[in-house]
Chain A
Amino acid sequence: MSRFTTIWRKEVTDTLRDKRSLMMLALFVFIYPLIMWSTLNNVISKSTKADRETNEVIVIGGSQAPTLMQQLKQQGITVLDHDDMDEPAITALLKERKQAAVIRIPESFSKDYQDLRPATIELWSDSAADQRSKLERVTQVLNSYGISIAQARLLAHGVSPAVLRPVQVQEYDTATSASRSGKIIGAIFGIFFVATFYFCLNLAIDTTAGERERKSLEILLAQPVKPLELIAGKWLAGALICAVGLGLELSVGHFVLKSMPLEEISLSWRLGLPSLLLLIGTALPLCLFASAFEIALAMNSKSFKEAQTAVSFALLLPLIPVIVVPMLDLNTQSWMYAIPVLAEQTLMLELAKGNAVPATAFLTTAGVSLALALICVGFASWKLKSEKFVLGV
């Protein structure tokens, strides 16, 4: 057993000496939480500045509807008056994406309004521009403006405004704000686990394909050490680096989310410290799997270069469940706990929602990763037994 410990210690020390590997670790620990922080911060500051936020619309012929202009202003929408424009001019203006919309009130508006005919208001927008929420606010104002006029007219005719509403659709949403935010944050957090595969990337390739190419693997094998011990040492060294990285990354992420005023955008981060520790603990086998998987792939390659290619290609695999599953908009199902990365993401999502997670979910998550890790380790040590491989022929 001491031989295995020696190898393990050697690999860890090697990695700690390697500035490039450490940089990569630090990068992944901080970069993603940082990206997440800046994204969310941007959304929050936008929403808290809603009163001052520049939601501008260009209005042509606004003098015909001063009340509408007032109502737009009351909803925090800045009205910019403009002379008449033709279609290319409006299109060009909207392309600049400074304003959410152009409201054009044709000259026929006043007469139609006074004649009680539907008076046209043109609303120009560019649906390719990301201005939907701003545009929604504008249409809301337009709608309520129309409804209040309709009510006044019906009353003037001696008709109850209730006739406008033969059916009242009462919408009920069963999602609490907690479950909604769980979905969004769950997706954001899923990417955290993808990073797991990057933490031990350098170590996995360097200690296998790298050592073989540098011919130092031969020397190692010449020692009285079993292939399994050799692989296990390298594997657990990778897993340790990965575990440290993942633990740090999740903690940084947790404190970032905890410190943000998410309630300003009607979200919340409901994970407590014990749940976080439980989550990190359950995610540790994922590190074992990531490390073993990459070592196995590297061992299966003919050269260092090929190993790099194979492993970086394999890095795309964990992205699939993270990207595809949220798109399918599935409810949480137990099979999800059997797929590494997706399992951890699902677990986190459920915990963030404040749902009770059964113990089997934790066990499945950890168990599947562990089993896959062992298979990969088995494969790698079987590969190492072959002289053909070691000599690189």
Chain B
Amino acid sequence: MKHWMRISLPIIAVGTQLLSGAAQADGPATPISKQGESCHLPNYEEPLRCVRINVPVDYAAPAGDSISLHVTVAPAFRETAKADPLFVLAGGPGQAGSGIVFLLDRAFKKVRATRDIVLIDQRGTGKSGKLDCDDLRDSETVTEAEQEALISNCLRNLKAPVQHYNTANAARDLDEVRKALGYAEVNVWGGSYGTRLGQAYARAFPDRVRALIIDGVAPKEQLLGEWGADAQHSLEAAFAHCEQDPVCEKTYPTLRADFRMLADNVEAGAVTLSFNHPRTAKPLSFVLPYSSFSETIRMMLYSAEMSARLPFLITESSHGNWKPFIAQMYASSDWSSDSMAIGLTLSVVCAEDMPRITPEVLAAEQTASFLHGLQLKQWPRWCAVLNVPAIPYSEPTPLATPTLLLSGALDPVTPPHRAETALKSLSAGQHLVAANVGHGVSHLGCGPKLLREFLDAPTEKIDGQCLNDIPLPPFVINVAGPAP
């Protein structure tokens, strides 16, 4: 259900200026409903078309090894579909297009009336040779040090040439997909990290992208892992909302103080949890690591519905009842959903972001928020194992593609000011903000309708007022749940 929001960690792509290959000769295309083969994917009832497309691992050596990309096509409902489909790019990096097919109904149903929807498994994700660490999901009982070792070990054993798994090559792949399917130009929807990839593709092949929709915008300037200030801001907003709500304010009058106390206790290593596992009921006991504490809080901020549970969780924990917090901590690993391809997450981050992290950024991140620079501490160690060469950064070039930017005001990773930064180099961009929404707007309220409206006339102005009609979910005030 909310997998997409839960696991979309936006990571910032360093879109190196790509050489636009002149793709002139587009042969007559086989109708999309005849390409590939009919297939069913989890979380979607109807048959789709699954197509495999081979692309070179290294574009500098096109005759060398190739990767087989998995592409899922949902043909338009209209037989004579519009010639320009919608390419859908998932987040992460590490999330697969085939893992977010449920968005077909939730976000793209109106668009699909007239356009094919093409979901792409970026190289290294999903069914496109996932760079995965299988045993991580069952690692709930191991210590932090053991988990570190597990990941390092897994990264060491990755067979793929990870230096070629980056945003620039993923963008080139997109154009190969476009060519193989026979489209002259495409529209692109990107969510979270997909916004970085989408912008990189549009910059590399401006003639091929008719319109761009980026939801939860990560501008090229943004560094993955440097998100403390945004997360802190999102947390403060959740607290402020509680204070403005008479019932929440009355129920949790000392919320901020309770949170500080908890954070201090956890950081001091003073919290030992003894509990039964929320899913398996297995008895467990360990000292709660600060990283687990802060990451659980951060993940909850992704969606407004989960944020509404925060005051209850914090207050219960401060009274010594950690059960609700523990259940929340394990919540994402409880579902057998397709996990992030952590190998790809790191191959992108280590080449594009980590080289840009200066000691100043690191120092600022340590003090910017309750996160205490979590990922920026972990990742360099893993990057050392992965050992991919750094990709030089260049400032974003101006882009004239009509672009719709969507932001949730409560987003802890890509809040509206990130989209405003991106807007500086997008001359035909319009930015819509949903007041009561976290990470990801397209599937909420009037979002699906706006997507269709924009794609039908990308240069027209869109009225996004209706996004503010999405209400703030009610706070959980006691064990009975939110106000009915």
Contacts and interface: CB of A to CB of B under 8 A. Distances in A.
B400 interface: no
Contacts of A261: 78, 113
Contacts of A64: 484
Nearest to A163: B279
B326 interface: yes
Contacts of B473: 67
A113 B449 contact: no
Contacts of A160: 278-279, 327, 330-331, 334
Interface string A85-100: 0000000000000000
Interface string A153-167: 111111111110000
Contacts of A170: 42-43
B295 interface: no
B76 A156 contact: no
Nearest to B445: A74
A263 B78 contact: yes
Contacts of A177: 46, 77
A156 B79 CA distance: 49
Contacts of A113: 480, 484
A264 B77 CA distance: 8
A178 interface: yes
A28 B45 CA distance: 41
Nearest to A176: B47
A70 B474 CA distance: 10
A224 B33 CA distance: 62
Interface string B439-474: 000000110010000000000000000000111011
B324 A158 contact: yes
Contacts of A270: 79
A148 interface: yes
B275 A158 contact: yes
B482 A172 contact: no
Interface string B140-176: 0000000000000000000000000000000000000
Contacts of A66: 474, 483-484
B76 A263 contact: yes
Contacts of A155: 309, 324, 327-328, 331
B449 A51 contact: yes
Given A51-B446, A155-B328, A173-B45, A110 B484 contact: yes
B contact patch SS:
loop
Contacts of B445: 74
B484 A70 contact: no
A148 B114 contact: no
B312 interface: yes
B78 A268 contact: yes
Contacts of A171: 45
Interface in A98-136: 109-110, 113-116, 119
B109 to A, nearest CB: 9
A156 B471 contact: no
A81 to B, nearest CB: 16
B421 to A, nearest CB: 31
A148 B482 CA distance: 9
Contacts of B79: 268-270
Interface string B30-64: 00010000101011011100000000000000000
B330 to A, nearest CB: 6
Interface in A143-201: 148-149, 152-163, 168, 170-178
A312 interface: no
Given A74-B470, A178-B33, A263-B114, A173 B46 contact: yes
Contacts of A68: 484
Contacts of B334: 160-162
- Interface size range of chain A in the complex: 35 or more
B33 A67 contact: no
A64 B334 CA distance: 33
B14 to A, nearest CB: 38
- Interface size range of chain B in the complex: 35 or more
Contacts of B470: 74
B25 interface: no
B305 A148 contact: yes
Given A148-B305, A157-B479, A67 B484 contact: yes
A173 B47 contact: yes
Contacts of A40: none
Interface in B295-317: 305, 309, 312, 316
Contacts of B481: 149, 152-153, 156
Interface centre among B38, B77, B336, B474 (most CB of A within 10 A): B77
Contacts of A154: 327
Contacts of B336: 168
Given A64-B484, A152-B482, A155-B324, A268 B77 contact: yes
Contacts of B309: 152, 155
A273 interface: no
A248 interface: no
Interface centre among B305, B336, B469, B481 (most CB of A within 10 A): B481
A268 B116 CA distance: 14
Interface in B260-296: 275-276, 278-279
Contacts of A36: none
A81 B481 CA distance: 24
A116 B305 contact: no
Contacts of B434: none
Interface in B3-50: 33, 38, 40, 42-43, 45-47
A262 interface: yes
B296 to A, nearest CB: 12
B418 interface: no
A354 B38 CA distance: 15
B372 interface: no
A177 B46 CA distance: 8
A68 B483 CA distance: 9
Contacts of B471: 70, 74
A153 B484 contact: no
A172 to B, nearest CB: 4
B78 A119 contact: no
Contact of B324 (A67, A156, A163, A266): A156
A159 B483 contact: no
A368 interface: no
A36 B324 CA distance: 57
Given A74-B471, A263-B114, A269-B79, A158 B326 contact: yes
Nearest to B316: A156
A65 interface: yes
B323 interface: yes
B467 to A, nearest CB: 12
Given A153-B481, A267-B77, A67 B326 contact: no
A266 B330 contact: no
A148 B305 CA distance: 9
Contacts of B275: 158
B419 interface: no
Interface centre among B324, B473, B474 (most CB of A within 10 A): B324
Interface of B: 33, 38, 40, 42-43, 45-47, 76-79, 113-114, 275-276, 278-279, 305, 309, 312, 316, 323-324, 326-328, 330-331, 334-336, 445-446, 449, 469-471, 473-474, 476, 478-484
* Across the A-B interface, the 7 shortest Cβ-Cβ residue pairs: A158-B323, A263-B77, A263-B78, A160-B279, A160-B278, A162-B334, A152-B481
Given A162-B279, A177-B46, A266-B113, 12 more contacts: A66-B474, A67-B482, A74-B469, A155-B331, A156-B312, A156-B323, A156-B327, A173-B45, A173-B46, A262-B78, A263-B114, A268-B78
9 contacts: A66-B474, A66-B484, A156-B481, A157-B324, A158-B326, A160-B331, A161-B331, A261-B113, A263-B114
